Amino acid sequence: MAETARGTESRYGNRPTMKDVAARAGVGLKTVSRVVNGESGVTPDTERRVQEAIEALGFRRNDSARVLRKGRTASIGLVLEDLADPFYGPLSRAVEEVARAHGALLINGSSAEDPDREQELALALCARRVDGLVVIPAGDDHRYLEPEIKAGVATVFVDRPAGRIEADTVLSDNFGGARDGVAHLIEHGHRRIGFIGDQPRIHTAAERLRGYRAAMEDAGLTVDEAWVSLGTTDAGRVRTAAEAMLSGPEPVTAIFAGNNRVTVTVVRVLAGLSGPVALVGFDDFELADLLQPGVTVIAQDAAALGRTAAERLFRRLDGGQDVAPERIELATRLIARGSGEIGPAR
C-alpha cells in the first residue's frame, strides 16, 4: 500500500542488509557501517535515524562478510576427544573463558579418538579461518597442519604432543605422576602391582606405563608382563583385564589405573571382591573421596591445561608469531585418600 518500491524488506529467510537499512534511513551505506561499529563522525540525529531503521528491520551484521573483509574471525577452534568425558569439560571451559576474555568465540568438536576425524575437524575449522587452534591429538602425525600454521593459524597441542611437527605443547607430567603413584603403592608394601592403561599408541598411556616401569625398577622389582594390560578403556575390556591379574596363583595385590575411566571400572570390580586390594588411579574424579575407601589418585589440573594452552595461543596471536615453539609440562599431585594405603594381603 505504502511504498513497495523499496525492495525486499526482510522477506522470510532473506535478511536485511546494511543496504536495506541505509535505504530505509535515507543515508549512505557507509554511514550505517559507521553506526553499527560505533565509529565516530556521525551526527546524533543521523545515528538515531539509522538505529531506528536497524530496530525496525531487525538488522544484524553479517559476520561472514565482515570476516571476509577484515581477515580475522575472532574465533578459535578446539579439537578434543570427547566432550562427554568429565576430564575435558573443565578443560574446554577454561579455554572458552580465556577466549572470551580476548573477545573470541570458541568452536569445538570431538574427534572420538579417531585420527581421521581429528584431521577432518581441524581442517574444517581452518577452512572457517579460525585465528587459532587448540588440539588434543588423537593421531600421531600432524604434518597436515603445517600449511595452516605457516599461514598464521596459531596452534597449541594439549594433553598429548604433536606428531612430526614443531608446535607449542602443554602436557601434564604423565611419567612423573605415574611413577609417584606406583612408588606410593610400593611404599605401602606392595611388590606385585598391576597396570591397566589405554592403548599404547596414545602418548599419555605410553608415558604412564613408562612411569610405572621406572618406579618398579627403582625399587628393584621385576615386572611380570601378565601384570600389564593396555587397550581400549571400555568397561568390558578393563574388567576382564583386572579379573585376570587378580586371579591365579600369584595375583597382584595392587593396581595402578591409567586414567579416570579405567579407575572407575576397577573400583567396580574391587567392590565385588572380598580381599583388600590397593588402588591408585591417574586423574582425579568427583566423589573419589566419598567412596569406601576413598580412592587415591594422581590429579592433573584439566582447567590449568586448558588455560595455559589458550593463553599461549593468544600470546602468539597478539604479536609473538615468531617465538619458537615451546613445551610446557604441568606437575601432577598425589592425593592420598586411603585406597593406595592398603597393605598387601599376606
Binding mask 11-30 for DNA (x = CB under 7 A): ----x-xxx------xxxxx
Residue with cell 576382564: 240
Distance CA 37, CA 22 (A): 14
Tell the smallest beta-carbon distance from residue 310 to DNA (Å): 25
Q: Is the Cβ of residue 63 or residue 326 nearer to a second copy in the bound state?
A: 63
Q: Which does 51 bind (CB under 5 to 8 A by kind): a second copy, DNA, none?
A: none
Distance CA 17, CA 154 (A): 32
Tell the smallest beta-carbon distance from residue 58 to a second copy (Å): 3
Q: Which does 310 bind (CB under 5 to 8 A by kind): a second copy, DNA, none?
A: none
Residue 58 touches DNA, criterion: CB under 7 A: no
Tell the smallest beta-carbon distance from residue 116 to DNA (Å): 22
Residue 7 touches DNA, criterion: CB under 7 A: no
Nearest alpha-carbon partner for 20 in 67, 65, 56, 69: 56
Q: Is the Cβ of residue 57 or residue 215 nearer to a second copy in the bound state?
A: 57
Binding mask 50-79 for a second copy (x = CB under 8 A): --------x-xxxxxx-xx----x-x----
Distance CA 229, CA 288 (A): 23
Residue 264 touches a second copy, criterion: CB under 8 A: yes
Q: Is the Cβ of residue 62 or residue 199 nearer to DNA in the bound state?
A: 62
Q: Which does 43 bind (CB under 5 to 8 A by kind): a second copy, DNA, none?
A: DNA
- Assigned C-alpha cell, 32: 550505517
Distance CA 343, CA 346 (A): 9
Q: Which does 82 bind (CB under 5 to 8 A by kind): DNA, a second copy, none?
A: a second copy
Q: Which does 31 bind (CB under 5 to 8 A by kind): a second copy, DNA, none?
A: DNA
Q: Which does 268 bind (CB under 5 to 8 A by kind): DNA, a second copy, none?
A: a second copy
Spell out the SS3 assignment of the chain: CCCCCCCCCCCCCCCCCHHHHHHHHCCCHHHHHHHHCCCCCCCHHHHHHHHHHHHHHCCCCCHHHHHHHHCCCCEEEEEECCCCCCCHHHHHHHHHHHHHHCCCEEEEEECCCCHHHHHHHHHHHHHCCCCEEEECCCCCCCHHHHHHHHCCCEEEEECCCCCCCCCEEEEECHHHHHHHHHHHHHHCCCCCEEEEECCCCCHHHHHHHHHHHHHHHHCCCCCCHHHEEECCCCHHHHHHHHHHHHCCCCCCCEEEECCHHHHHHHHHHHHCCCCCCEEEEECCCCCCCCCCCECEEEECCHHHHHHHHHHHHHHHHCCCCCCCCCEEEECCEEECCECCCCCCCC
Residue 273 touches a second copy, criterion: CB under 8 A: no
Q: Is the Cβ of residue 2 or residue 84 nearer to a second copy in the bound state?
A: 84
Distance CA 124, CA 113 (A): 17
Residue 73 touches DNA, criterion: CB under 7 A: no
Binding mask 212-251 for a second copy (x = CB under 8 A): ----------------------------------------
Q: Is the Cβ of residue 34 or residue 307 nearer to DNA in the bound state?
A: 34
Question: Which residue of 37, 222, 292, 321 would you call a contact of DNA, by CB under 7 A?
Answer: 37
Binding site for DNA (CB under 7 A): 15, 17-19, 26-31, 33-34, 36-37, 40-43, 45-46, 59, 61-62, 65-66, 68-70
Binding site for a second copy (CB under 8 A): 10, 12-15, 58, 60-65, 67-68, 73, 75, 82-86, 88-90, 92-93, 96, 100, 105-110, 123-129, 146-148, 150-152, 264, 267-268, 271, 285-287, 290-292, 303, 321
